[in-house]
A = this chain, B = another copy of it.
Amino acid sequence: MKPKSHHHHHEHHHHEREKLTDLTARLRRSARKITGPRQAILEVLRHHPHPLTNKEIFAELPKGQCDLATIYRSMHMLETMGLVKRFDFGDGVARFELVGEGDQAHHHHLICTKCAEVVEIDECFQHELEESIAARHGYKSVTHKLEFFGICPECQTRKD
């Protein structure tokens, strides 16, 4: 569960943190209101490199800053606006990560099944695989969800 230091701050997902005012500008462009709760949520996301659950976002917020239901509603809206991306780690809880402006945002994760540590993975399989699968079955607009699971170095040595 402990965040790892970033050995390679040039990896593209560790891009410059988008300023809050730039994020809210994107809201405004979509005729969405810039409210306290929304700014607070974006602020939390801005400071977390890994996907957060709604409850985690809630916990990070100054007490009473915002209702949990509002977070759920906001994440939906931010998702449809493309400001955040939803991830599914297979534990029945949605997680969200900020998507930088102009970011292609396509990446995956390597999750430790013991301690839930998360590592971002920028690589993906060759685009051709997806294309050939889509073509073979006549599907269009094909995307994919891919996450890796394993045991992190620390948990390997830990004798539970």
Contacts and interface: CB of A to CB of B under 8 A. Distances in A.
Interface of A: 88, 90, 92, 110, 112, 119, 121, 123, 125-126, 129-130, 132-134, 137-153, 156
29 contacts: A90-B145, A110-B134, A112-B139, A119-B137, A119-B139, A121-B133, A123-B129, A125-B126, A125-B129, A130-B148, A133-B148, A137-B153, A138-B156, A139-B150, A139-B153, A140-B150, A140-B151, A141-B150, A142-B148, A142-B149, A142-B150, A143-B148, A143-B149, A143-B150, A144-B146, A144-B148, A145-B145, A145-B146, A145-B149
A150 B130 CA distance: 11
A117 to B, nearest CB: 9
Given A130-B148, A139-B150, A140-B156, 13 more contacts: A90-B145, A110-B133, A112-B139, A125-B126, A125-B129, A134-B148, A137-B153, A139-B152, A139-B153, A140-B150, A141-B151, A143-B148, A144-B148
